[in-house]
């Protein structure tokens, strides 16, 4: 049985925060330790260029995030761990996919639409400040995923639409060229998918409300004491629902600890006490990782080595052979595979024949048709029909894109792709 392939990317455009850890890194590291799972975790540094124009920040963030994953327990011998830009086949695939992706599909992407809406609200041109990088973001992300035919993609809720687009794009490619891609699925862990930040909104670098995962002990304490609460006095019962403090606690505590905390909320725990408890909980989880992190970050060359060797092995095993197949599928082929045409026949070129449906009657009295391609090669052979009219209707159905398998079978040596191409060529005129 092929192992289930799990893949996720993390964009190195900022400092890893608690939300990244609980929502992505921790579940990913756990998954990589399960038997029967092949994991792919990578730094999506090309995606970072869409979010920041600061080269030092991209580099620094790449170092920090790589060190974070290793400190969080990812073992490079148990999971593919690499940097997107070290696998050039991914950007090559992004182009192949762009050529089967409708512009209209990308027009509907939330991130792009949000940029347009903001421009309109500010009486700007709709596309002001929108780069093709932002617009193509979902295509590059689809390439990340489809390159390795991942089955499951753990992401935050905000990325679910991108996964739907990756499926659409994969299906378009498969329809045109044959079944090359697995249709990936988003895996959203509802319990931890989004953590609140200091202000109670989703923790995100864009809201400037993050708690860095490896803030110093003192800084962590300071930040935790700055998390918003309501103004209920000590002794007054507190709501757990909608409490940022409670949600943060829950994301790091065991279910039993969470229940105890819930009871303390009902009993009217003072906010100061709740904050102290959250700080202690976080510190107990983070402190051992922080030590490993500091060691790793002090040796960037070691991390570079880990990333480079991950990418090299991955390219050799998957990316290079797969992109070779995809190039072949799309017609980016070597010319020396073509037959040699004698010089005199080149002088008077034959008009390129069109594919054709040929209808005929056999000795068995039944009516048949076959599809031959432009070179006269048989692609599809029909079954027998009782009347010429029925055979004609089947031909019309095929031209109308209703498929062919209810009416005929591929000729020996003809592939699904040959048949598709012949039908498409017929439909084109």
For ligand TRP, what does the binding mask look like between residues 40 and 69, x meaning CB under 6 A?
----x--x----------------------
Q: For residues 45 and 83, is the Cβ–Cβ distance under 8 A?
A: yes
The contacts of residue 338 (CB under 8 Å, 6+ apart) are none
Distances (CA, A) of 398 to 395, 401, 406, 424: 5, 5, 10, 10
In angstroms, what is the minimal distance from the CB of 28 to ligand TRP?
10
In angstroms, what is the minimal distance from the CB of 179 to ligand TRP?
21
Cα 330 to Cα 327: distance, rounded to the nearest angstrom: 5
Cα 174 to Cα 152: distance, rounded to the nearest angstrom: 19
Place of tokens 């996919």: 97
**Three-class secondary structure of residue 385 per DSSP:** strand
In angstroms, what is the minimal distance from the CB of 138 to ligand TRP?
9
| CB closer to ligand TRP out of 8 and 15 | 8
Count of residues binding ligand TRP (CB under 6 A)? 12
For ligand TRP, what does the binding mask look like between residues 138 and 157, x meaning CB under 6 A?
---x--xx-------x-x--
| CB closer to ligand TRP out of 31 and 155 | 155
The contacts of residue 352 (CB under 8 Å, 6+ apart) are 374
Q: Which of 15, 159, 243, 382 binds ligand TRP (CB under 6 A)?
A: 159
Residue 335: both structure tokens together: 């010319």
**Three-class secondary structure of residue 235 per DSSP:** coil
In angstroms, what is the minimal distance from the CB of 141 to ligand TRP?
4
| CB closer to ligand TRP out of 50 and 379 | 50
In angstroms, what is the minimal distance from the CB of 126 to ligand TRP?
23
Residue 94: both structure tokens together: 């992004």
> Which residue number places its CB atom closest to ligand TRP?
9
In angstroms, what is the minimal distance from the CB of 420 to ligand TRP?
29
For ligand TRP, what does the binding mask look like between residues 2 and 31, x meaning CB under 6 A?
-----xxx-x--------------------
Cα 250 to Cα 245: distance, rounded to the nearest angstrom: 9
| CB closer to ligand TRP out of 159 and 382 | 159
| CB closer to ligand TRP out of 47 and 238 | 47
Q: Which of residues 86-145 bind ligand TRP (CB under 6 A)?
A: 141, 144-145
Alpha-helix runs per DSSP H in 22-159: 26-32, 45-51, 55-71, 89-98, 103-107, 110-121, 132-146
Q: What single string gives the DSSP state of each residue in 297-317?
A: HT-HHHHHHHHHHHHHHHIII
In angstroms, what is the minimal distance from the CB of 159 to ligand TRP?
5
| CB closer to ligand TRP out of 246 and 318 | 318
In angstroms, what is the minimal distance from the CB of 358 to ligand TRP?
48
| CB closer to ligand TRP out of 18 and 391 | 18
| CB closer to ligand TRP out of 105 and 378 | 105
Q: What single string gives the DSSP state of each residue in 247-260?
A: HHHHHHS-HHHHHH
In angstroms, what is the minimal distance from the CB of 19 to ligand TRP?
11
In angstroms, what is the minimal distance from the CB of 186 to ligand TRP?
9
Cα 203 to Cα 367: distance, rounded to the nearest angstrom: 68
| CB closer to ligand TRP out of 17 and 290 | 17
| CB closer to ligand TRP out of 19 and 355 | 19
Distances (CA, A) of 230 to 82, 239, 270, 302, 388: 43, 9, 11, 46, 79
Cα 406 to Cα 66: distance, rounded to the nearest angstrom: 53
Angle 57-59-63 from CA coordinates, rounded to 5°: 110
Binding-site ranges for ligand TRP (CB under 6 A): 7-9, 11, 44, 47, 141, 144-145, 153, 155, 159
């Amino acid at each position: 049985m092929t192992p289930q392939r799990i893949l996720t990317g993390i964009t190195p455009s900022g400092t890893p925060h608690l939300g990244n850890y609980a929502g992505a890194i921790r579940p990913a590291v756990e998954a990589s330790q399960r038997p029967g799972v092949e994991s792919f975790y990578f730094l999506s540094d090309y995606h970072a260029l869409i979010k920041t124009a600061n080269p030092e920040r991209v580099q620094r963030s790449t170092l920090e995030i790589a060190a974070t994953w290793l400190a969080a327990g990812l073992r490079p011998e148990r999971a593919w761990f690499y940097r997107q830009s070290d696998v050039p086949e991914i950007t090559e695939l992004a182009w192949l996919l762009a050529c089967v992706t409708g512009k209209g599909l990308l027009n509907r992407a939330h991130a792009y639409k949000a940029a347009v809406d903001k421009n309109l609200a500010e009486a700007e041109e709709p596309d002001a400040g929108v780069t093709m990088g932002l617009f193509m973001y979902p295509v590059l992300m689809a390439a990340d995923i489809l390159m390795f035919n991942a089955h499951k993609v753990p992401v935050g809720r905000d990325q679910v639409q991108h996964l739907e687009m990756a499926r659409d794009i994969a299906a378009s490619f498969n329809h045109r060229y044959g079944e090359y891609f697995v249709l990936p699925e988003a895996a959203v862990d509802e319990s931890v998918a989004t953590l609140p930040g200091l202000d109670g909104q989703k923790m995100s670098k864009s809201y400037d409300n993050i708690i860095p995962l490896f803030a110093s002990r003192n800084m962590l304490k300071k930040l935790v004491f700055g998390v918003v609460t309501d103004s209920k006095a000590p002794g007054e019962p507190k709501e757990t629902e909608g409490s940022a403090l409670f949600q943060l606690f829950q994301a790091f505590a065991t279910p039993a600890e969470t229940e105890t905390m819930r009871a303390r909320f009902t009993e009217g725990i003072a906010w100061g006490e709740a904050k102290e408890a959250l700080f202690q909980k976080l510190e107990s989880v983070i402190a051992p990782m922080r030590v490993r992190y500091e060691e790793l970050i002090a040796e960037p060359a070691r991390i570079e080595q880990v990333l480079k060797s991950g990418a090299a092995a991955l390219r050799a095993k998957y990316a290079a052979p797969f992109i070779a197949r995809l190039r072949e599928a799309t017609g980016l082929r070597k010319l020396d595979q073509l037959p040699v045409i004698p010089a005199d026949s080149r002088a008077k070129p034959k008009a390129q024949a069109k594919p054709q449906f040929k209808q005929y009657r056999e000795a068995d009295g039944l009516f048949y048709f076959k599809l031959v391609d432009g070179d006269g090669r048989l692609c599809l052979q029909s079954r027998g029909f009782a009347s010429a009219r029925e055979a004609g209707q089947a031909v019309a159905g095929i031209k109308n894109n209703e498929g062919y398998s209810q009416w005929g079978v591929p000729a020996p040596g003809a592939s699904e792709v040959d048949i598709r191409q012949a039908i498409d060529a017929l439909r084109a005129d």
